[in-house]
Amino acid sequence: MENIQFIDLSVSSTIILFLVGFVGGMVSGFIGSGGAFVLTPAMMTMGVPAIVAVASNMAHKFPKALVGAYKRNKYGQVDIKLGVIMGIFAEIGVLIGKNVMVHIRATFGATGTNLYVSFVFVVVLAIVGGIVLRDGIKEKRCEGKSDNQEPKELLPLTRWVRGLVIPGTMIHFKSIDAKVSFLILAPLGIATGMLAATIAVGGFIGVPAMMYFLGLPALMASATELVIAFVMGMGGSVLYAMEGAVDIRLSMIILAGSLFGIQIGAIGTTYVKDYVVKFVMAVIMLLVLVSRFFYIPGYLSELGQISPMDHDTIRILNGIGEGTLFFALLFGAIIILRALYSGIRDHHLAQSTDKDKDLGAVAAHLQLSPVGRFERFLVASDGSDFSAAAVREAFGMAKKCAAQVHVMSLVATGIEYGGLGEPVLKKELAIAQDHLDAVKKQWGTMGVPCETHVVHGQIVEQEIIGMAEQQQADLIVMGRRGRRGLARMMLGHATANVIGKSNCNVLVVPRAAQIEGRHIVLATDGSRYADNAAVTAGHLANKIKAPVTVVTVVETDSEAGAVTKAEQTVKRIVEYLKNQNVSVEGRTLVGRPDAKIIEVVQEKNADLIMVGSHGLTGLERILVGSTTERILNGTSTAVFVVKGV
């Protein structure tokens, strides 16, 4: 077998690779799927041998899969046992797939592996891209239509798999509360690994297999596949490295680019509808398919499998392939960046409109911004401990405020399994409805009016905000994960986007938080957003009979006179709250705002923090940050975020 040759990396080729990784990351973040189906062909187009492109892609993917699995396990979405077992069998598939690749290279050279990988890409992307396109068209046609009550029985294939008892091979999985023979899991895992070893994308088999054969919910299947991707990706990287096929330079460059791009792509999804995301993915997949297809005649000619083609013809076909791939990447980047630009532009227009409103003399005497209502609450529940806390506090607060509660459950659908089976979606919708029925039954004895809603979509925050607008909710109640390890470093993506983009107030409830009316800490900076929070705090304090401490914090390096101005702000709000018959005191402190506010919370044993939000969203929120977000990340106390008007 000829030696594997790595490409020379110049400054220009390094920049191109970084940009390819960046666009691949944007595609991954936007469509909710791995961008490997873009990255492998892109590297091959740059002259990277197929075996090196696949191996280097696997090496760049498995660290991201580990982080993703860790994050989603925090929400109880990962069946670790199933993921590890499937991953072990997938490792066997990777070994087989790698050996096939090595054998083809030994027999037919680099051109043989290029042909093999290109052919598999054409077949797989034709199937998956066609299905996703069909699903997007169907979703567009059904937009605005409601689903009927769905049947609750398992699929016949799932019932057969669970009913097949082979002594000595049965393994129980909590996620489905059933036993399955590992002899069923073996071929599914092996097939997943073989595909991953061939094109660096195994999820196109793994996710549907867990859904159809095992009956795993779609959200859990996609999360568990991350464990499989980590196990087989790490092992596959080692196996390919032993063949000298992993170019760590390529892996690190595309990883660096994708880490930036994935954030941009994820933000872009908040501004488009589900079917648009599916259209974008389908178009990119089919364009990549066409790109690879135009390389195949040249490979066949070089191998002598068809009549020899002259170099000019091959160069033209390769040029068409290169141009098509470039167009695919450019198309994806433009769609995503356009969505991002439109969203930020609309946000700025909304802010400009807000500023043009006559707010009155906010600083004069006691005139504050308009009040909010406490009539309709929306709480999102997925059955996890985190959402259970949100449901509990939503009903508890609704009881005190005489409010109505809307409970919604989201069946999240992703690209890798989107459109692969309506029966699976119907079954999951039915399971979600069963969960909501149980919630309604559990809390119905409190005498709080309650309605339930099951929706399905790919973008969690978009569905929550849409439901809030549809029901004219005054308050969205959301759970929040714990504060250990990596989890405490970043507010959940969905929660942050709901806060940033919703028009109504948001209550974020950590799992251990309980709102009993002990004490409210109201953080203010004197802005009209903080004034909204003050008015809302006054109304809520009267409803739950809680005392209030008004806190404003002046940063250490603030300009002269800042402390005096802050004291005047606190005095103004304290006077307002006293006139609302609220038991209130004021504090003016110096230091880092979030740290000082949390100190007061601990001192007062407060069970609720109230803050105003400037409404920053998307890229602005990531780049700018805010005291509100740092408070949300730094406390185990419930935080009531009051939106500006």
Q: Which residue has the tokens 């009016």?
A: 449
Q: Are 600 and 551 in contact (CB under 8 A)?
A: yes
Q: Which residue has the tokens 């970043």?
A: 490
Closest to 205 measured CA to CA, from 420, 38, 459:
420
Closest to 431 measured CA to CA, from 209, 153, 175:
153
Question: Any idea which of 95-99, 229-233, 438-442 has the lowest mean pLDDT?
Answer: 438-442
pTM of the model: 0.62
The phi, psi pair for 152, rounded to 5°, reads -110, 0
% of the chain exceeding 90 in pLDDT: 37
pLDDT at residue number 219: 66
Is the model's pLDDT at 34 over the cut of 60?
no
Q: Are 482 and 609 in contact (CB under 8 A)?
A: no
pLDDT at residue number 82: 94
Element (H, E) at 278: helix 274-293
- pLDDT 10s digits, 465-477: 888 888 888 899 9
Question: Any idea which of 39-53, 79-93, 279-293, 604-618 has the lowest mean pLDDT?
Answer: 604-618
For the residues 212-231, what does the mean pLDDT come to?
A: 84
Quickly state the pLDDT bin for 353 (edges 50, 70, 90). low
- Cα R_g (the chain), whole angstroms: 27
Quickly state the pLDDT bin for 212 (edges 50, 70, 90). confident
The phi, psi pair for 37, rounded to 5°, reads -70, -15
Strand partners, 247: none
Is the model's pLDDT at 560 over the cut of 70?
yes
List of residues 6+ apart from 439 with CB closer than 8 A: 381, 391, 407, 452
Q: Is 279 helix (H, G, I), strand (E, B) or coil?
A: helix
The phi, psi pair for 479, rounded to 5°, reads -80, 165
Strand partners, 552: 588
pLDDT at residue number 361: 35
Closest to 501 measured CA to CA, from 612, 412, 610, 616:
616
- pLDDT 10s digits, 355-412: 444 333 333 333 333 445 788 999 988 777 778 888 999 998 898 888 899 999 887 6
Q: Is 453 helix (H, G, I), strand (E, B) or coil?
A: strand
List of residues 6+ apart from 252 with CB closer than 8 A: 60
Q: Mean pLDDT score of the chain, rounded to an integer?
A: 81
| CB neighbourhood size of 527 (10 A) | 15
Element (H, E) at 640: strand 638-643
Q: Is 617 helix (H, G, I), strand (E, B) or coil?
A: coil
Taking the alpha carbons at both ends of the chain, their separation in whole angstroms is 69
Q: Can you state the angle between helices 36-45 and 274-293, rounded to 10 degrees?
A: 30
Q: Are 398 and 515 in contact (CB under 8 A)?
A: no
How many Å separate Cα 503 from the centre of its chain?
A: 21
- State the sign of the Cα–Cα–Cα–Cα dihedral 32, 33, 34, 38: negative
pLDDT at residue number 465: 87
pLDDT at residue number 448: 87
In angstroms, rounded to a whole number, what is the distance separating the alpha carbons of residues 66 and 345? 35
Q: Is 606 helix (H, G, I), strand (E, B) or coil?
A: coil
Quickly state the pLDDT bin for 267 (edges 50, 70, 90). low
pLDDT at residue number 414: 53
Say if residue 247 is exposed, middle or buried (CB neighbours under 10 Å; 0-12, 13-18, 19+). buried
Is the model's pLDDT at 429 over the cut of 80?
no
Distances (CA, A) of 259 to 38, 244, 285, 339, 577: 15, 26, 21, 19, 47
- pLDDT 10s digits, 501-526: 788 888 999 888 889 889 999 998 87
Q: Which residue has the tokens 């890798």?
A: 416
Is the model's pLDDT at 36 over the cut of 90?
no
Give the DSSP per-residue string, 177-228.
TEEEEHHHHHHHHHHHHHHHHHHS--HHHHHHHHHHTT---HHHHHHHHHHH
CA triple 405-410-414, angle to 5 deg: 165
pLDDT at residue number 338: 80
Query: Which structural domains are found in the chain, ordered by start?
Result: 11-140+151-341 (no CATH), 370-511 (3.40.50.620), 514-645 (3.40.50.620)
In angstroms, rounded to a whole number, what is the distance separating the alpha carbons of residues 597 and 304? 74
pLDDT at residue number 355: 45
Q: Which two tokens stand for residue 239?
A: 């196996």
In angstroms, rounded to a whole number, what is the distance separating the alpha carbons of residues 147 and 132? 20
In angstroms, rounded to a whole number, what is the distance separating the alpha carbons of residues 48 and 273? 36
Quickly state the pLDDT bin for 273 (edges 50, 70, 90). low
Is the model's pLDDT at 139 over the cut of 50?
yes
Is the model's pLDDT at 10 over the cut of 80?
yes
List of residues 6+ apart from 200 with CB closer than 8 A: 36, 39, 40, 53, 54, 57, 58, 61
Distances (CA, A) of 193 to 345, 449, 472: 44, 50, 47
In angstroms, rounded to a whole number, what is the distance separating the alpha carbons of residues 607 and 514? 7
In angstroms, rounded to a whole number, what is the distance separating the alpha carbons of residues 128 and 426? 21
Q: Are 2 and 243 in contact (CB under 8 A)?
A: no
Q: Tell me which of 625 and 590 has the higher pLDDT.
A: 590
pLDDT at residue number 344: 67
